[in-house]
Structures are given as C-alpha cells and as structure tokens.
A and B are shown apart, each in its own frame.
Chain A
Amino acid sequence: MSGRTLASRNTWVRIKRNWILYAMLMPAILYFVAFKVQSIMGMSLAFYDYRIVGENVFVGLKHFRDLFSTPMFWQIMKNTLIISFVKLIIITPFPVAFAILLSEVGNGKLKKLTQVVSYLPHFLSWVVIAGIWFEFLSLNGVVMDIWETVGGTRMDLLTSKDTIIGVLVASEMWRSVGWDSIIYLSAILAISEDLYEAARLDGANRWQIIRNIVLPHLIPAIITVLIINMGVVLNTGYDQILNFQNDAVLSRIDVIDTYAYRIGLEGTRYSFSTAASLFKSILSLILILVTHFTSKKLTGKGAW
C-alpha cells in the first residue's frame, strides 16, 4: 500500500471516528449557508431583470451601466468614501492617545471611573445615541451653550450640510474611543517594568518614555487595527447614518448601503439596488486584498 492511500485512509478513519464533531459544527455551518451563502449567491440578481412571475431575464451589465450613468450614484460614492476615510483618519489616533493618558493617570479612582464611563457608550444602540445627541446638540443644549459663550450664534448642527459629517465623526468618537482604547491599554500594560526602570535610570522624562518606549510598543496593535478597519471601511453601516439622516442633509450623508436600501426596499428596483451593493462588495474585497498584501510586504503581517 502506498503512503498516500494510507494517509487518505487514515484521514477517512479520523473523519468517521469524529463524526460527532462535524455534527456539532453543523448548526453553525447551516446557519451561514441558509442565511449568508444564499444571500451572497442571490447577488447574481445584479445581472438579471427581476420578474415577479416567471424566470428572471439575464441582461448582463445593464444595471451597472444604469448605475454608473446615474449622477446621484457618484455623489453617493463620494459620500461613502469621504465619510469612511474621514472617520478612519481622524478617529484612529484618539484611542491610542486615550490609552496612553489612561495609563498615565496617577489617581486610581479617577482612572477606574473614566474607564467605566468611557466604555459604556459602545454598548448603546445608535437609536439611543441619536436620541441623546439630539438633545445634546439641540438649540438650547450644552454644545450650543458653550458655542454661544465663545461668541458663536446658536445653530442646528444636525440639519446643516456643512456640519453633519462633523456630527457623524464626533458621535462615532463619543461611542467608540473608550472601548477601542482597550487593545492599546493592554499592550501598554504588557510592557516590561524593566524598560521603564532603565529609562528612568538614564534620566528620561515622562514624554521621552512615552515617545521612545510606549509608542513603539503600540505600533503592532495600531497596524492590526488599521488593517481590520481598512477592510471594513466601506461598511459604513445603516444604523448611524439612518438615525442621523434628515431631508436637509440626505444628499450629503447618503451612502451606498442606505442608497441600496432606499431604492431596493423602500422603492422596488431590486436589480439596480443589487448592482450597487455588489459594486460596493467588490470594492471592499479589493481594499481588503490590497491592505493585506501591502501590510504583508511592509510588516510581514497580513490581515489573516
């Protein structure tokens, strides 16, 4: 008997002996197949005309041509890219800075209280956050009180095209800076005490220690987070946008996801909406692959 058939027979024996393990894995696999794989395969609808009765008709790239010749779509593309990348670029440094500050707070009680409070918004739904922020930003709310004190005139930030993206970024920060700092904080706590000791003996001050010891130790975590966030950067999600959307700012913060929802489910242009979603999925996939291979080349570490 050749080694190869022996090996494959062994595998077969192992599979048979451990059938119960496959049975245990089955519900999870079944869930994904029933809900997700089916949905993903359904995206071929982008190449068909939807028919309520009878077979869908294959139309090739017709819906993509329609999509690309819709001026509205390019505005939405632009919105998606702006919102995604502005969030990514502006927000990323804050959890790092917050973690460093937390690790530098001498007072144990203040530190613990700040942690308990700052992690909390991560667990609130966007509906709730929108409810809180509507009051927070209202004409006689806290933010406008401060704005008036420093010499501004009270205004509605939620219905102005110029400020709504700022509101999205700020509310996202309010929700996630605390929680996102956890990964960096644990990286800081993992730094060996000896390094601090040595630095202090050399007469390094607090800022020098942060710059030369703490920050370099945070780089791997920062890169990991950036890679993950790049991969999902176009998944702006529905919840935040839908809850901060109003007629006055719709044209500025309508993104591919919400657009596909509006024309697909609130309207009934199923194939057209699918084409938009599929276009986004392909862009996302390209982004993930590009970040994966770039980071592998630069740091030897990929997304998986």
Chain B
Amino acid sequence: MNSNKKVIGAPRVSTFFINLIMVFVLLVILVPMLNLVAKSFSDPAQVAGMSGWRVIPKGFSLVNYQIIFSNPAIWRALMNSVVITVVGVALNVVVTSMAAYAMTRPELPGKSLFMAFFIMMMIFEPGIVQEYFVIKDLGLMDKLPVMMLYNTVTVYNLVLLMRFFSETPQSILEAASIDGAGHLNILFKVFLPMNKIPIMTVGMFYAVAHWNEFFRSSVFLTSNANTTLQVFLRRFVVEGDSTVLASLGSIDLTGISMTGLKSATIVVTVLPILCMYPFILKHYTSGVMSGGVKE
C-alpha cells in the first residue's frame, strides 16, 4: 500500500528518471568498492593493467591474503584492533546503560543538571595538545587500554539509549520494585533483557567507532607493537610506506602488486564492518526500510 501510494497517476518518464538516478547512485558507490575487491583477488601480474570499471578479478589469486595473514605486522595490528574493540565495547555498554538507566528514572534529583553537564561535554572540543597531556598524566600513553577507555561514553549514544529506556513501561518497573529489587537488579535482570536490541544497536555504533578510530590511535599509541589496523592501513595505503610490512619481521615482496596488496588490506579492514552492517540496518533503520515510521 505504501509503495504505490504516490505512483498512481505518476508520469512514466519521471519514474524512469528517478530509477536512473538510483542506478547512478548504486554505481558511484559500488564500482570503486567492488573494483578494489576484484583487484585484491586478481593475479598480481595482471593488476596493473586492470580498468577501474572491472568488478571481477583478472586471473584469480589468493596470494595477497596469504601475505596479509602471514605478516606479523598486520596480524599484530589486527589483533590490537580486535582487543581494543571487544574490551572497549563491553566497557561502553556497561557504563552507558547504567548512566542511561539512572538518567531516565524520574526519582533522580538533579537530572537536568546532569543533562546540562553532558551537553556541555558534547559541545566543548579541547585541543589535541591537551588531550595528549591528559593521556600522558594518566599514565596511559602508548598502552592499549587508552583506546579502550577513549570515548567510554559518547553523549550521542547516551541520549539514544535514554530514548529507548524511557519507552519501557513504568508498570514493569513498579512491579519489580514492589518485589524488592534494587536499581542494579532492575537494570540487569529486567531492563537489559527487555532492551536487548537497543543495547546491541548502541554497542554496534560503539564497535564501529572503535574499529574505525584512526587519529587518536595514531597519537596515543606510538610504538609499532601497539599500532592498530587503521593506523597501519594509513601508513601502508595512504602514505604508501611499504616498510611497515617489515616492521616486525622481514618479508619478500617479489612479484607482488602493491595495488593488489593494498586493496586486500582495505578489504580485511572493512570485513568486520560488513559483518556488523546487516544487524545495524535491521534494527536501527528497519523502520525507514520497511516503510513504517521509526520513532
């Protein structure tokens, strides 16, 4: 019903043009992405001659991925990113959901004061020099936990979770507190199970942010051993510095196409995001995707 409501009586010509624009959007986004995937799976000898339009590999080969997964520097960076993301998200979810729960209890005196504090935290951006000094003073410089702790709470996610929490029926809370359950019990035994999907959604947003963090990682994690995947990718792909591959051991790159190897590194970096993507779509944008209203 929804999909044809405006199509009735619509001129065929404009429908054709709208479809054409959609196809254009698809091509602009997909062709550069798929071209990289194709190059990563191609025979290294043939990559140089590949057109930017080509989305299927030329002479199939897995050699780039073999190099990536046998290179200690890339492994190290990959593992660092995984550890930071997993531990970081666990911390994010616990701290944010506790705060969101407290902030949505009507019996919390001084709530607007806290909200003003959070909004101020969102508006003010300190200089990078100050962030650097604070991390140094906290003794966290060049230690992996710094990137687990960085952005423990973001106000955006806090407010998002508060919106979901405030929709939980009050009657359930009252029933729980009559049973004598304390706030912590209510949060972990009643609230979290009831709000599984919002919490996972917020967790996904945090996970994407941790995984994609590049600038702060490059400033706060200075040694090769603590490099994250994004920082590695930046040195290798953006700065074109292939010595990073050898930072934790020697490597033989004869006959390897740098473009192919770079493409494969990008694919590996994006893979975890692609795994999370269907979930984010399903729950966060399901409303707008199925034609209903998300509120």
Q: Which residues of A contact B (CB under 8 A)?
A: 11, 14-15, 17-18, 20-22, 24-25, 27-29, 31-32, 34-40, 42-43, 45, 98, 101-108, 110-121, 123-128, 130-136, 138, 140-143, 145, 174, 178, 182, 185-186, 189-190, 193, 196, 200, 205-207, 209, 231, 235, 238-239, 242-243, 257, 260-261, 264-265, 270, 273-274, 276-278, 280-281, 284-285, 288, 304
Contact = CB atoms under 8 A, between A and B. Distances in A.
Given A27-B99, A119-B281, A42 B121 contact: no
The SS class assigned to the B binding surface is helix
Given A18-B107, A140-B52, A135 B35 contact: yes
Nearest to A139: B52
B145 to A, nearest CB: 13
B82 interface: no
Contact of A145 (B4, B51, B123, B129): B51
22 contacts: A20-B183, A24-B101, A25-B98, A25-B103, A28-B98, A31-B153, A35-B134, A42-B130, A43-B127, A43-B130, A45-B130, A101-B18, A106-B15, A119-B285, A125-B214, A125-B269, A128-B230, A143-B52, A145-B51, A182-B288, A189-B291, A238-B215
A218 B83 CA distance: 42
Given A124-B273, A200-B8, A15 B109 contact: yes
Nearest to A209: B6
B75 interface: no
Given A14-B109, A123-B208, A111 B22 contact: yes
Given A106-B15, A274-B129, A120 B29 contact: yes
Interface stretch (B192-200, B231-239, B241-249): B231-239
Interface of B: 2-11, 14-15, 18-19, 21-23, 25-26, 28-33, 35-36, 39, 51-53, 94-96, 98-99, 101-103, 105, 107-110, 114, 117-119, 121, 123-134, 137-138, 149-150, 152-153, 158, 182-184, 187, 208, 211-215, 219, 230, 233-234, 237-238, 259, 262-263, 266, 269-270, 273, 276-277, 280-281, 285, 287-289, 291-295
Given A18-B107, A35-B149, 7 more contacts: A25-B114, A38-B130, A42-B130, A103-B6, A110-B22, A124-B270, A124-B273
B129 A45 contact: yes
Contacts of B19: 105, 107, 110
A264 B219 CA distance: 12
A88 to B, nearest CB: 17
B288 A186 contact: yes
B128 A261 contact: yes
